[in-house]
């Protein structure tokens, strides 16, 4: 867990009312294992990946996986359907484990919770502790985005995928250096090429962007109406 990870207006990854009641006794020991996994990484952990690490999802056998461009056999279709059911079941167990852990953290007044961020799970500190963390990490704040960087990133986030020409048309200024800076920070990445003259590159936000701003997906971005209301 990073001590600089601060949640912004987030809800815990799971909010079951009685998490312990819904957790089978034979699965209780997995809480510590999941917690250890989350504390050992510095990026969101997908539920399916956590399920494999916890032994809830067996490794797929090569003979049960259809090769690319090849029509799957009936046996492979059945194996795929069975695996999908196993993955779905494992993800439900992960949700129960997260709910149980968050309940424990709340009961013991811990400074962190497990949140859903960028398509995965991550241990993050609560907003109430942001001032203390900000004072402690003043040096890191010196590398914050410039106003031009924030404006450019906002346009990309809401209009992606977008070409550089479209981006500069909206901002009214050249965005080459700012765009390069955002790419270097891994907040923006190339998303392919536009189907137009010259096949210009298309840009969009990355998983690191979601992680950086504590978002599960771009759908969590505030709507234009909400932004106007906040002004």
The domains of the chain, with CATH numbers, are 19-136 (1.10.10.10), 145-230 (1.10.10.10)
pTM over the 0.85 mark: no
- pLDDT in the model for residue 8: 43
**Of 25-29, 65-69, 176-180, the least confident:** 65-69
Q: How far apart are CA 193 and CA 202, in angstroms?
A: 5
Q: Is the bond leading into 161 cis (omega within 30 degrees of zero)?
A: yes
What confidence category does residue 210 fall into, taking pLDDT thresholds of 50, 70 and 90?
Answer: confident
Residue 193 has pLDDT above 70, yes or no: yes
| Residue 16 tokens, joined | 């079951």
């Amino acid at each position: 867990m990073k001590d600089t990870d601060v949640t912004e207006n987030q809800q815990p990854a799971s909010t079951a009312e009685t998490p312990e009641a819904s957790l089978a006794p034979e699965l209780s020991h997995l809480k510590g294992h999941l917690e250890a996994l989350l504390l050992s990484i510095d990026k969101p952990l997908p539920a399916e990946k956590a399920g494999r690490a916890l032994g809830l999802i067996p490794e797929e056998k090569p003979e049960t996986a259809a090769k690319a461009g090849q029509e799957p056999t009936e046996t492979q279709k059945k194996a795929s359907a069975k695996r999908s059911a196993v993955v779905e079941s494992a993800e439900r167990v992960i949700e129960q484990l997260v709910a149980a852990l968050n309940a424990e953290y709340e009961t013991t007044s811990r400074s962190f919770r497990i949140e859903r961020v960028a398509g995965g799970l991550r241990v993050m500190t609560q907003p109430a502790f942001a001032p203390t963390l900000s004072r402690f990490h003043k040096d890191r704040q010196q590398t914050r985005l410039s106003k031009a960087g924030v404006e450019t990133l906002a346009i990309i986030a809401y209009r992606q995928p977008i070409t550089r020409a479209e981006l500069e048309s909206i901002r009214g200024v050249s965005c080459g250096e700012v765009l390069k800076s955002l790419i270097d920070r891994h907040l923006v990445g190339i998303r392919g090429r536009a189907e137009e003259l010259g096949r210009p590159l298309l840009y969009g936000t990355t998983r690191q962007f979601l992680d950086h701003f504590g978002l599960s997906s771009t759908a969590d971005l505030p709507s234009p109406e909400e932004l106007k209301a906040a002004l």
